[in-house]
Structure 1
């Protein structure tokens, strides 16, 4: 096998692994849903982004 074919084979293999991992990973819940609010309550408040805090206040508090 030539070096070029080896590189193409490795890139194709890594791409397949990435696509498989992406397809079986869990999707995050929709912002504002009950599951999203619960997930955010469990997350340390110091790790929240400004957008998450605003969305939490908008959808989960009021």
Structure 2
């Protein structure tokens, strides 16, 4: 049980460090990630935020 708790805490800490979807850092990370590893949601978000983004927002 203790190992599961440690694993959950570590996972939460790593997730908290991920850049926000649509941010410049997130777009850069996605450009480096192999396209075959993208999920459908990641592809949709990349298109929306990194390709068709508006600088006026």
TM over 0.5: yes
Q: Where is the helix percentage greater, Structure 1 or Structure 2?
A: 1
TM-score (structure 2 length as normaliser): 0.68
Q: Which residue of 2 aligns with 1:38?
A: 28
TM-score (structure 1 length as normaliser): 0.63
The number of aligned residues is: 51
Larger-Rg structure: 1
User: Superposed, which structure 2 residues align to 1:1-62 within 5 Å?
Assistant: 11=1, 14=3, 17-18=6-7, 21-22=10-11, 25=14, 27-62=17-52
Structure 2 gaps of 5+ residues are 53-57
Structure 1 gaps of 5+ residues are 1-10
Q: Give the root-mean-square deviation of aligned CA atoms.
A: 1.9
